[in-house]
Structure 1
């Protein structure tokens, strides 16, 4: 009797289930997840920076997750593109290239906007690349960008206004 009840209960339960097959969920890589909340993309802000004669607009790693993710998972980046990291306090900094496929150079910047040091970073290398002095900011650009533009330590970065990034397209 108990078996008959169990068979009846299971068949009833299975028969009343959802007739629709489960819908596949879109998969987002971690970089995309940093900027998507539900169905509304959160476009990273951009900031205008002046360094010597160069003026650039770069993405801002706005929140803690964005700072941790940085430029990970990207396959390419336009020549004058980059990412600006702003921290709430001045301290010794270190970055690494985990899951970062493009070669980068990083400039560590103190509270007054002065570049403390510029270092080249190797794709996928998890060794820390450290600031030589305390830094409040960091700017990642394509490797060699600073050298090509004649930018060196002790140069000052002029920080402009934040604005939405109208050209933002999430990576594939």
Structure 2
């Protein structure tokens, strides 16, 4: 009788471990919550972006980028993220060049927001935006692209209005 109970216990333990393993692999690196509403969303490189000096065209810095090129991805942006790699960012690509506006509602990390026109020239920078606010950070001129990087990135790499961007997307 004792070996029968042991077999049942071992089967139950194996079943629990199997379920736990299944759930862990199903969740993968996509999204998990910390219980407070912030998600741990893994950064997914979809291309690279270079910041170029307006004075001489030299490369100021290069980042890996995720791309937000449809309404759903643009609406979500970097909301709910608790971190962003140091040399990474998000490139927003819009359908039309016009005044663009962003807010920081549900965004947990300070960001530098760069608004870029169709000629790939930076027309507006909002440095170190305040997390979790509904303040509208808008471009001062029409923009076709927006790049978000960690707060302080532009100051650290001496990126300013008038500088340009160049990007390459993977698998497109």
Instruction: Pick the TM interval, shorter chain.
Output: 0.5 to 0.7
Shift of 1:90: 0.2
Residue number among 139, 143, 148 corresponding to 1:131 in the alignment: 139
Q: Does 1:75 align with 2:82?
A: yes
Measured against aligned partners, the alpha-carbon deviations of 1:100-127 in whole angstroms (never above 9, x if no partner) come to 0000010000001000011021000111
Measured against aligned partners, the alpha-carbon deviations of 1:38-69 in whole angstroms (never above 9, x if no partner) come to xxxxx956121111321211111132111001
TM-score scaled to structure 2, two decimals? 0.68
Partner of 2:148: 140
Conserved? CA contact 1:44–1:61, under 8 Å: no
Higher helix content, 1 or 2: 2
Q: Does 1:66 align with 2:96?
A: no
Q: How many residues align?
A: 128
What residue ranges of structure 2 are gaps of 5+ in the alignment?
1-22, 32-42, 53-58
Separation (CA, whole Å) in 2 of partners of 1:128 and 1:48: 27
What residue ranges of structure 1 are gaps of 5+ in the alignment?
1-25, 33-42, 165-172
Residue number among 150, 156, 160 corresponding to 2:164 in the alignment: 156
Q: Where in structure 1 do 4 or more consecutive aligned residues deviate above 6 Å?
A: none
Partner of 2:92: 85
Partner of 1:111: 118
TM-score scaled to structure 1, two decimals? 0.68
Q: Please identify the structure whose Cα radius of gyration is greater.
A: 1
Measured against aligned partners, the alpha-carbon deviations of 1:104-157 in whole angstroms (never above 9, x if no partner) come to 010000001000011021000111001000000000000010110011000010
Aligned CA-pair RMSD: 2.4
